[in-house]
Amino acid sequence: EAGVAQSPRYKIIEKRQSVAFWCNPISGHATLYWYQQILGQGPKLLIQFQNNGVVDDSQLPKDRFSAERLKGVDSTLKIQPAKLEDSAVYLCASRIDRDVYTFGSGTRLTVV
Amino acid sequence: KQEVTQIPAALSVPEGENLVLNCSFTDSAIYNLQWFRQDPGKGLTSLLLIQSSQREQTSGRLNASLDKSSGRSTLYIAASQPGDSATYLCAVNGYGQNFVFGPGTRLSVLP
């Protein structure tokens, strides 16, 4: 079974620029999550999708972050404009049932 | 609001030692508790999931216990190996809610 694919692996941008991350979950996994993991902290949920609908985006900074999951498969997370404090690893995870998650390797974002 | 803490933040042990990692959570009304492993530059891998009705779960050299009333869980690793070096995170969720993660314990097992 293929894992959760994320790209790019690394991204360095200047503050106020925009950036987008891509996630391809495991085939058939209806639930998809985006997490932000700041160095030394645990992952923080940004947004949860069920198929192509948003279930929970209460912690998503909507003034600068946006996410979509077209056709209930791939998902993109965008930041515009980026701030220094957005430097983190952005993890995508998918789930088919219960509480068994499969995580991607993440995208490490550095904002300078 | 649920908060999860983990002690210690980092731990270094010689190979072969048994060790215990601790996790505490503020709201005891949890549905599940899960322990994850995270290798550098990688995502999280689930190690053990304990449902609220259970007291412990075992997988190989790993044993996780749960005491809901005191808001604590421990992860016991027997006969540690250098390959166990990683960050270990615990996470809890309420019924129908998403997991809240702790900051993790960074473990180094020295050969």
Task: Give pLDDT tens digits for A56-112.
Answer: 999 999 999 999 998 889 999 999 999 999 999 999 999 977 778 899 999 999 999
In tens, the pLDDT along B50-73 reads: 999 999 999 999 999 999 999 999
Q: Is A101 on the interface with B (CB under 8 A)?
A: yes
Q: Which residues of A touch B43 (CB under 8 A)?
A: 4, 91, 93, 102-106
CB contact under 8 A, B89 and A105: no
A50 contacts: CB under 8 Å, gap ≥ 6: A30, A31
Q: Which residues of B touch A48 (CB under 8 A)?
A: 98
Look up residue B76 and give its DSSP letter: E
Mean pLDDT of chain B: 95
B66 pairs with which residues across the strands? Answer: B73
Spatial distance between the Cα atoms of A78 and A20, rounded to a whole number of angstroms: 4
pLDDT of residue A43: 96
Cα–Cα distance, A38 to A91 (Å, whole number): 11
- Judging contacts by C-beta atoms under 8 Å, the chain B residues touching residue A44 are 101
Q: How far is A89 from chain B (nearest CA, A)?
A: 9
Half-sphere exposure in the Cβ direction for A38 (13 Å, CA):
8
Tell if the CB–CB gap between B4 and A91 is shorter than 8 Å: no
Closest-CA distance of chain B to residue A96, Å: 14
Backbone phi, psi, residue B81, to 5°: -130, 155
Q: Does A100 touch chain B (CB under 8 A)?
A: yes
pLDDT of residue A97: 72
Give the model's pLDDT for residue A1.
Answer: 59
Q: Which of A34, A101, A107, A109 to mutate to test the interface with B (most CBs of B within 10 A)?
A: A101
φ/ψ (deg, to 5) at B37: -120, 140
Q: Is the dihedral of CA A42, B108, B21, B60 positive or negative?
A: positive
